[in-house]
Amino acid sequence: MKNNIYIYILVMAGVTYLIRLLPLTIFRKEIKNRFVRSFLHYMPYVTLSVMTFPAILSATGNVTSSTIGFVAALIIAWIDGNLFKVAIGACGAALISQLIINLI
């Protein structure tokens, strides 16, 4: 059977449309439940974290240096919160730890 790209595109379009259509048809009224509202509010942050965390641990090819960079990012973010400083600090910590690991 020959693969038809138009069938794939049609299926992807249908799934994407359903994902956007179903919430509009199911939830017609405003959501009053505090738990559900809180759950929906934090969902994008959780999804982004779940997708990003495995990439963080495999970014340098060494789990130890990646973890050191991650911990450095957490500490810098907790103290300052500036995204540029967090990125530079995490990259610097991962680089230095990787250099030290390679020397040993």
The predicted-structure confidence for 76-102, as pLDDT tens digits, reads as follows 999 988 899 999 999 999 999 999 988
Of all residues in the chain, the percent with pLDDT exceeding 70 is 98
Q: What is the pTM of this model?
A: 0.61
Range of the domain at 26: 5-103
Are 30 and 66 within 8 A, CB to CB?
Answer: no
39: left (phi over 0), alpha (psi -120 to 50) or beta: alpha
- Whether 57 has a pLDDT exceeding 60, the answer reads yes
SS3 30: coil
Write the CB contacts of 42 (distance below 8 Å, at least 6 apart in sequence).
none
Number of domain units in the chain: 1
- Whether 17 has a pLDDT exceeding 80, the answer reads yes
Encoded tokens for 37: 């509202």
Report, as an integer, the average pLDDT of 19-34. 82
